[in-house]
Amino acid sequence: AQTVTQSQPEMSVQEAETVTLSCTYDTSESDYYLFWYKQPPSRQMILVIRQEAYKQQNATENRFSVNFQKAAKSFSLKISDSQLGDAAMYFCAYRSAIGTYKYIFGTGTRLKVLA
Amino acid sequence: GAGVSQSPRYKVAKRGQDVALRCDPISGHVSLFWYQQALGQGPEFLTYFQNEAQLDKSGLPSDRFFAERPEGSVSTLKIQRTQQEDSAVYLCASSVLERGMNTEAFFGQGTRLTVV
């Protein structure tokens, strides 16, 4: 069975600085997808960035980028130029490329942005 | 609709009461998922529908939990004889199927269930 581990329950970053959130996962599959979701107090999960396992190039979305290390089964999220609106829970998620495509989530990292 | 809509946003139930949680997915989205998110945890998969067919219910914690999507659009998650451990946020998500693959899932704001 696949598992996702986020070892940082909480992180803090100064506004305009850069922060990296860690995520490791375990799977025996070769084809899968990885995601970072943001969950603000409104509870709605918002997709931040996604990575296809077959792509070697790290995904980037504006201030958000990932460091995907397939052999190490590591998928970290880097947030550059942090903004107050980035404060939220961040969840790393795994999704198989076959089957029902359910997401397997980590336990989350609470990001605080300090003004 | 513009997004995934869930109702009610909050529900307080007395232990032993039955509850029904509603999910209105994005129009045209074939796939629909239910997740349970306990306090301080990540969401955990409950069940998956493709149109009206429930293809995976492996995450339902007990036979007190039942989900349906009779016409392939709106879905209802029913919990019978609620217990305190059922207290959680219940999230619904929907996605499109393209060439047999589920695309990105869009989530609703969830229903926070508190069993007292």
For the residues A28-52, what does the mean pLDDT come to?
91
A42 Ramachandran zone, left/alpha/beta (phi>0; psi -120 to 50): alpha
Q: pLDDT tens digit string along B26-74?
A: 999 999 999 999 998 999 999 999 999 999 999 999 999 999 999 999 9
B14 Ramachandran zone, left/alpha/beta (phi>0; psi -120 to 50): beta
CB pairs under 8 A between A and B: 56
CB of A45 within 8 Å of a chain B CB? The answer is yes
Q: Output phi, psi for A79, to 5 deg.
A: -110, 120
On the question of pLDDT at B100 being above 80, the answer is no
For residue B38, the chain A residue with the least C-alpha distance is A107
CB of A47 within 8 Å of a chain B CB? The answer is yes
A19 is written with which tokens?
Answer: 């922060």
Determine the pLDDT at residue B2. Answer: 79
Q: pLDDT tens digit string along B1-18?
A: 579 999 999 999 999 999
On the question of pLDDT at A48 being above 60, the answer is yes
On the question of pLDDT at A73 being above 70, the answer is yes
On the question of pLDDT at B98 being above 80, the answer is no
Q: For A106, which of B42, B56, B112 is closest by C-beta distance?
A: B42
d(CA A108, CA A5): 9
CB of A25 within 8 Å of a chain B CB? The answer is no
